[in-house]
Structure 1
């Protein structure tokens, strides 16, 4: 899957949102709500970089799988 910027399309009703480096989880969830989506899953993976040829932990990458909210009138 190719990640494009802050969100990646899985289809018309599902999108992956990534928590930005200077963004809290709550801010990401609020951004999702403003776009009309609701979190349905979460995944995390460590990000490493090389220091003197050795992998060193840099940060945690957090992504939310979001589904389009449907209004029930």
Structure 2
């Protein structure tokens, strides 16, 4: 039997909703304990600073 890690991060994919990600966590045996949103930047040629492109949502799951 494979031993699962006590904590695992789950990123919400582009093609799924928050509830889909939470269902995926539940099916793997994890419950959400933290939600974070991280900015995503892109660099364009000729620009002085990176440009905000969007954000990604990441859940931290704890083994049930």
The TM-score bracket by the shorter chain reads 0.7 to 0.9
Number of residue-to-residue matches in the alignment:
59
Which residue number corresponds to residue 46 of structure 2? Answer: 53
Q: Which runs of 5+ in 2 are unaligned?
A: none
Q: What is the 5 A alignment of 1:1-40?
A: 12-40=5-33
Asked which structure has the greater CA Rg, the reply is 2
Q: Which runs of 5+ in 1 are unaligned?
A: 1-10
CA separation in 2, counterparts of 1:28 and 1:34?
A: 10
Pairing partner for 2:60 from 61, 65, 68: 65
Which residue number corresponds to residue 43 of structure 1? Answer: 36
Higher RCO, 1 vs 2 (CA within 8 Å, ≥6 residues apart): 2
- TM-score of the aligned structures, taking structure 2 as reference length: 0.78
Structure 1 outlier segments of 4+, above 3 Å: none
